[in-house]
Amino acid sequence: MMKINPVQAKLDALKSLLRNLKPQQVPEGAQMDLRTASRYLNELAQDLEASQDQLRLAALYRVSQILGTSLDLDEVITQVMDAVIALTGAERGFLVLLESGGGEWRVHAARNFNQESLQSQETIISRTVVQTVLDQGRGVLSNDAQTDPRFSERESVVIHALRSIMCAPLLARGQLIGAIYVDNRAQAGLFSDGDLEMMNALAIQAAIAIENARLYTRTDQALARRVAELETLARLDKELNASLELDRMIRIVHQWTLQQAKADRGWVLRTDSGALDSGMAVYPDECPYLKEPLLYQAEQMGVPKGRTAGEGLRALLLFPLKYGEALIGMVVLERTESFEKSEEDFLEHLVSRAAVAIQNARLYQAVQQASEAKTSFISVVTHELRIPMTSIKGYADLLRQGVVGALNEQQLSFIDIIRNNVERMSVLVTDLSDISKVESGRLKLSCALIPLKVYLDEAVRVLRPKLEAKGQSLEIDLPSDLPQVFADYNRLIQVLSNLISNANKYTPAEGEIRLVARPEGDFVRVEVSDNGIGIPPQDQAKIFTQFFRSEHPSVRNEQGWGLGLSVARRLVEVMDGTMGFYSHEGEGSTFWFTLPTSAQEAAQ
């Protein structure tokens, strides 16, 4: 970009030369030429003025275009400074910005004519000029600060021998944000009013570009912070969701809140009673704030409560762990520096998520405790029932065998009823005991690789009389190369017997029962199908529920407790298989299960 003032200066010099020519020094014939030359010179000066204006406008336009394309604050500032220096022909240029929330200002960019950044020792500028511009909100031009009464006495002007100085305010949407300052230490009279006007115009555009870039940076930073926060919350969720163990959960919450709050100490207080003063569990250890009135205040308000660090105090942040309306605990964080609002907001989010996870873990723990209580109750009851049942059965058998004398027909039939009912009770007790063993993890399995046919033969052998009694056919379809299954011998027979027995019970006489097995990946899939009564859609969801039995009269006519399928499915699952069924009411049912074909699979 061309600086125009040196040309102007030469023109001015030429004009004064012509003016100083004495008429007698000019020959008679050249007088006319001299006047013409003088007129040309004036016209040239006017043309120059006009072209200077055009050049300024063109330069301004170019700068405004460049400024409009960048949102990078440093880049915007550098571009502004280089444009100002190039347009004014200044030696150095500075951009000062007001610090937020005060009248203080700071040099943000210092550039020289060669578009280089200046070192700090070269950045001494006239503070008086800058301050005047900031105070008045108007541009200032001094063509020789050394003699300018406004600035000549100022220390910086004197020490640094500043001569030409120009400074324009940076006004963005009516708001003063700083100033642009240019100077030349050697040359006086470098800048014109036109230059100041141009610098003012440029300053307006620069101020808007700077504000936009700042706004963008702030928005960008806020967005980046929010994204980082969301990422942190997602990571926390993932960790919390990985377990339902309450103690582990509390440890995770403690660790995360401490880390995210950059706190020196922190505690997770847990209450099961809904009040903070009774039965409080504290993690990791004794919390000195347990008896703080602040705790109760925070509890009542149900909002995070911060206390700013002050003399002898440490910053304390308290968050109630709330689940709906219920208070389930509190997170207490302590550090030396006070907490900022944005930190509080983020931690509040974090704690509210933690509260949900803790509550879930609490519920899970409660359910688990109830289930354990039920399991141990069943285990005791089944054990206690077995003893009298064995003796009832034993004495009934003795009576039947006539050990204590011959029995008449009626007495024999009564004994059979007693035996039959004891048998039913014994099935119930065995099923209940199996369930309690699976649930408490006490079920002992001894798995081995055995061909499915071995199990099947045994199950069918026992049930054959029942199938024959109802005239039902049993088709068995096993491929000869079926892989062996890895299972517990007795338990697999129990599963197969339950499915075949159900098919037998819930299929009318002369019905067909089919048993098919096929390899399926690393498993063998076994299906037991019948063309019996089927299962109505409304019953299908409850089929594996303990004690569920269909209302169908054919079901009610059969003996059963509604436990067989639920036990069978659990047994298959502990042997690492799955069980399911499909059925059409009135057409029949197919119950299927899978079992692994290798020990490795089962171990996984």
Q: Which residues of this chain interact with ligand ADP, rule CB under 6 A?
A: 498, 502-503, 506, 530, 532-535, 543, 548-550, 555, 560-566, 589
- Nearest Cα to 180, choosing from 133, 142, 115, 128? 133
Please, which residue, 334 or 434, has the CB nearer to ligand ADP?
434
What letter represents residue 330's amino acid?
A: M
What letter represents residue 8's amino acid?
A: Q
Q: H-helix or E-strand containing 517?
A: strand 512-520
CB of 561 to ligand ADP, least distance (A): 5
CB 260 within 8 A of CB 231: no
CB of 469 to ligand ADP, least distance (A): 17
Please, which residue, 271 or 436, has the CB nearer to ligand ADP?
436
CB 483 within 8 A of CB 519: yes
CB 427 within 8 A of CB 449: no
CB of 381 to ligand ADP, least distance (A): 19
Location of structure tokens 């141990």: 376
Please, which residue, 26 or 427, has the CB nearer to ligand ADP?
427
Cis amide prior to 284 (ω within 30 degrees): yes
Please, which residue, 483 or 588, has the CB nearer to ligand ADP?
588
CB of 447 to ligand ADP, least distance (A): 24
Query: 582: helix, coil or strand?
Result: strand
Please, which residue, 289 or 548, has the CB nearer to ligand ADP?
548
CB of 552 to ligand ADP, least distance (A): 6
Please, which residue, 369 or 490, has the CB nearer to ligand ADP?
490
CB of 565 to ligand ADP, least distance (A): 3
Query: 507: helix, coil or strand?
Result: coil
459: number of Cβ within 10 Å: 20
Please, which residue, 59 or 428, has the CB nearer to ligand ADP?
428
- Round to whole Å and give the CA distance between 498 and 493: 8
CB of 591 to ligand ADP, least distance (A): 6
DSSP 274: S
Strand partners, 141: 166
CB 298 within 8 A of CB 321: no
Residue with nearest beta carbon to ligand ADP: 560
**Alpha helix segments (H runs only) across 118-273:** 127-136, 155-159, 193-241, 246-260
Please, which residue, 126 or 436, has the CB nearer to ligand ADP?
436
CB of 547 to ligand ADP, least distance (A): 8
SS (HEC) of 409-428: HHHHHHHHHHHHHHHHHHHH
- Round to whole Å and give the CA distance between 271 and 278: 8
Please, which residue, 354 or 463, has the CB nearer to ligand ADP?
463
CB of 511 to ligand ADP, least distance (A): 10
Token pair listed for 201 = 């115009």
CB of 223 to ligand ADP, least distance (A): 57
Q: Which residues contact 100 (CB under 8 A, 6 or more apart)?
A: none
- Nearest Cα to 198, choosing from 89, 327, 340? 89
Please, which residue, 162 or 467, has the CB nearer to ligand ADP?
467
CB 121 within 8 A of CB 103: no
CB of 563 to ligand ADP, least distance (A): 6
Please, which residue, 79 or 589, has the CB nearer to ligand ADP?
589
Alpha-carbon torsion, ordered 521, 526, 530, 534, to 10 deg: -70
